[in-house]
Amino acid sequence: MTRFVLGSASSGRLRVLRQAGIDPLVVVSKVDEDALLASLDPGLPPEAVVASLANSKAVSVAAQLPNDVASDCVVIGCDSMLYRDDRLWGKPGSAEAARKQWLAMAGTTGHLLTGHAMLRISDGVITHADSETASTTVYFGAPTDDELASYIACGEPINVAGAFTLDGLGGWFIERIEGDPSNVIGLSLPLVHLMLRKAGLFIGDLW
């Protein structure tokens, strides 16, 4: 049976897959995201930036797989960032950075971009590689000062792309979205479905 390997420590991505019938093997990549971002061409389109990060993660994970898994598996690497005001916003990393991001984006619109990289591996050899980026438009509400302080104090927005979640406490402050909701959580089911098809895999065999 083909193993499904998720190259991410994201609980949101894992939850999306499990709710969709797939219980993946989780292998966290060893990619230094900050170093990789710094090495990329500053003129690279935002869609290509997240795709590059996702591809590096998938390749890193593929190199870590034991032989029994690498005999027949598909590896998915993902990276999400918010594109707003002509720049990419990743994980704030601190409460103060999260507060500044929210003060800037409250009442505005952004695009949650998730790069997806897929590697099909047979007998330890990569036989198919694909990379795509999905985009979902997010309309942010305007939390009050007290609401924002409480949200930041809970810690959720500090270590998530764009300083918000759709499926957590941040969902209270999202007015609406246009596009795939699973992409905002970090893994687009419709896109991965198409990528699996291109790799010659039947989704029903992975459930």
Q: Which residues are catalytic?
A: 79
Q: Where do runs of H (alpha helix) occur along the chain?
A: 11-19, 33-39, 46-64, 67-70, 95-105, 145-153, 181-185, 189-198
* Stretch (H or E) spanning 110: strand 109-122
191 and 183 Cβ atoms separated by less than 8 Å = yes
CA distance 55 to 116: 7
Is the distance from CB of 174 to CB of 140 less than 8 angstroms?
A: yes
Q: Give SS3 for 81.
A: strand
Q: How far apart are CA 191 and CA 134, in angstroms?
A: 7
**Rounded Cα–Cα distance for residues 40 and 25 (Å):** 29
β-pairing, 174-178 vs 3-6, is unpaired
From residue 43, alpha-carbon distances to 25, 73, 83, 162 in Å are 35, 34, 14, 21
